[in-house]
Structure 1
Amino acid sequence: MESLRRQGRDRFLHRVENLSPECKVLEISSSGNDAIYSERMMPMDQVQNYIRTDSEQSIFRLVQFTVSVFVQPRPKEYGELAWVLDVLMELGIETYLIDSHICATGCDMMERELCRKGKVINMIAETGYIFMAGSYNQTTRSTTCFFFVWTTGSDSKRQLKYTAEFMKANARLYQDKHFLPFLLVRLFTDHIFWLFPKYYSEDFGRFDEENLQLWDNNCTNLRLIQRDSYCINDITSYMRAYIDGSTEQGNSSTSSQDILDGDLDIREAFRMMELRLPSIQRRIEFERQRSDEFLSRIPRRLMREDTMASIELAKAGVELTRAAKGDSSSMKVIAVMTMVFLPGTFIAALFAVPSLNWNGDDVVGENFWMYWAFTIPFTILVLVLWLVITQRKQMRSAFETSKKQWYAKADALIRRLHREGSTVGREEQEREEV
């Protein structure tokens, strides 16, 4: 046990850094029949003596620390809050429990019997923005509570503001041992109803990139809502067990002291709040199904868009093929025309001799026939070479087809002649026999 305490203490001092030389102290005390609520800022070096001062009357003290919390321990030891761990040990809260709850959502409530303080009820909870450790002494009906406020996020300021408003509005209930648990339940419930409007503000029917990012943020809010609902269930389970036990005890001397004034109000408020818990759970489950459905629609939507894009790409490919085919036909026409006229041009250049006499009576010379004698055969030769080079596969295929057809006709002719010869032979044989 001692090793666990030292380990928890060491990890706490290497993970939690105090950021403010002052603490905000919220206090509720009695003055006659009235409960007095007060707020003040107190230097850090005075808070320890203030907490350890024993009061003759019941008192509710809540101290807020502004801290920075690291998920992994740092090499440096932050020793400004070492005295807090000592005070929590005196209140019956073990250091290893404190370390295990930092950056880990949850809530634990336990009852212990201390030799000098009597029976105490300890409570440890982490809300994601606030870490709380508190103790209620049933003998003095006093509560001492520490709030460690994370510096990141606007929720911490809003929850601290709501904490002060709740304590001020319900100051007369501060002596009840369920005042602190009920305060936390109200904080969690308030956080849930603060997150739900954010979650509902987005349209899940759109699939653009901006909306997908908003949907991802909403999923985070939904997880926070579900986390808070788990903490509410933990606290309400403890309170329900106490209320059921008090109901079974009836009006005995011990229970009559506990079920007076403020406790009756808290029990009634708890019943009203408990009626809302199933609707919150159903709403959370509905939103989870809604998010899962939206998530399942995304791949189908993307697949459909990919299919439509593929169809459009195929259409564009067909159009491109048609255009290429048209260009190919045009190029073939140009090539054929070039092959037709190029030999004549070549021969005319080659035989650039004065065969035409424009100044004489006889324009066409006697040797003009030589131009046509060379041009026409050369053009035919070029066309034949082009056909042989470019159309050799088609020509070979046509040749093979014609060859097969010729062989088939020859075979049919041979068979027919063979049949006719056999018929003539049988007729001659029959004549001889006759």
Structure 2
Amino acid sequence: MKNYILPFADTYFKRFQTGKSLIKEKPAEDLFLSIVIPAYNEDELCKSLQSILDCQLPEKSVEILVILNSSESSPTEIILKNRETYQKAKQFAKNNSTKRLKFCILNIENLPIKFAGVGLARKTGMDEALRRFNSINKPDGLIAGFDADALPEKKYLREIEVYFNENQNINAVSINFEHPIEGNKFSKEIYRNIINYELHLRYFVEAMRFANFPFAYHTIGSSFVVKADIYAKQGGMNRKKAGEDFYFLQKIIPLGNYGEINTTKVIPSPRISDRVPFGTGAAISKMIKNNTDDFGTYHFNAFILLKAFFADLDTYFDNFTLIRIPEPMKNFLTINNFVSDLEKIKANSPNLLIFRKRFFDWFNAFRLIKFLNYAHETYYQKEKVKIASEKLLKKYHPEINIPETEKELLLLYREIQTRLSF
């Protein structure tokens, strides 16, 4: 454990207006993991809580912080539903909380319209988790992101504990995830769509790894863990109404010492949702609305171009000529003032190692997505995820026989990303 002047996160709470403590009872002295679950208009919260209760217990204590939330403008029926869910979850917590596994249920109403949403709810819970770790001076306490409709594998809690015991230098991790792709709970249409959507997610990460992009990790809100002191140092969770997990993790991943836990998994829901404008639920809704199970993804040639651009990175330290860069990268770099920014990067880089770091501070995940979107507006057309996924396998994993169906492709991508940690 790092040495801190007690308590370690006071600076964070002085800097950011986080309000007062939401939970009066002091946490267990051996608390090692706090799981934060935002919930809004939720039908299956208690099922999710039961699935955590059914997990194999780790050696140290765990808390689950549920943040039911609604805004000043939330419809009356949702406010009433939240209150009903709150009462059910409170009863669940009363019946099932123990010293080693404690459920804390909160219902926060009338949040400001400007900020209300999943980002603020997740931030509220994660700030409270930080406050509780701060109260027992536990900078290496773990804060996990989770969703109210997700389910953990039974060994989820233990595998998190084992991983961080064995990798004490790690700041944060992404945990393996697998949407359900068959069964009776959802329609065949939803299962077909979630296969294509998850294949897109895995293709995107694998294509970034093919291009040697250093920050190629999954950023799923229900499957990440971060150390408390790192959470505080990076300014905590944001209040974005969607994509809060991606934006938050892109502050954490570039710090280094980021890992993956592939020995367990989280099972996110594939259900339709209108809670946020993008993400799994929104993607499935869009495919059903458009009457298609095809999810267009980034053209593989864009990643071939990225790979070539990154491959010459070290030469840019001494000499960079825009003329040699092919389109659409050349125009993208011009629009984004790369040449002048590169000179600043070089001027502040006494050696090649620092130059590489500063380069990817500039060409970070936000810039990479900005490039991909620009390239597909001006140069490439998005292609079917099955076709793009097959192209990537042929180039990046030529030894593997390519299966015929999207489902088999997804299972193969899962196997590759579980077996070959980044």
Interval of TM-score (by shorter of Structure 1 and Structure 2): under 0.3
Q: TM-score, normalised by structure 1?
A: 0.26
Q: TM-score, normalised by structure 2?
A: 0.26
